[in-house]
Amino acid sequence: MKYPITAACQCGQVSYTLAKKPIKVLACHCQECQKLSSSPFSITAVVTKEDIHFQGEMKHWSRLAESGNQNHAKLCPTCGTRIYHYNPEQPDLIKLKLKPVGASVDKDFAPMIHVWSSEKPAWYQIPTGVEALAKQ
């Protein structure tokens, strides 16, 4: 995949340009991510703040995670698409929730690790050779 790449929310009001491939990509099987994605897991691409540029207005939302930390998120106020998560303790890292155009088959966005596999549906099998953690 050639960089920079772009992505947008469902309505197109929020978009981003990513300059480099993600540091890591993970699949989270926790029940909150299952709700978020309406699927067995949610994909998160971790990138540095300096490698991404956002356009458009975003709304802030947060919830208390099982760890006791606040889980902060930015989303499109029009269509509700989750754009990214962040931890105020690590301000230089962005946890993207959007799939860039053309990334469905690209290895740059294939999960390197599956977390919260203890909450995955029994029918889903994590691919052989991919690391899996019971929690985070």
97/84 Cα distance (integer angstroms): 5
- pLDDT greater than 60 at residue 102: no
- Say which residue, 10 or 37, is predicted with more confidence: 10
Model confidence, pTM: 0.83
pLDDT in tens, 11-54: 999 999 999 999 999 998 888 877 878 888 888 999 999 999 99
84/116 Cα distance (integer angstroms): 19
Domain boundaries 5-132, corresponding CATH code: 2.170.150.70
CB-CB contact of 25 with 45 (8 Å): yes
pLDDT in tens, 60-91: 999 877 767 778 999 999 999 999 999 888 88
Domain ranges of the chain: 5-132
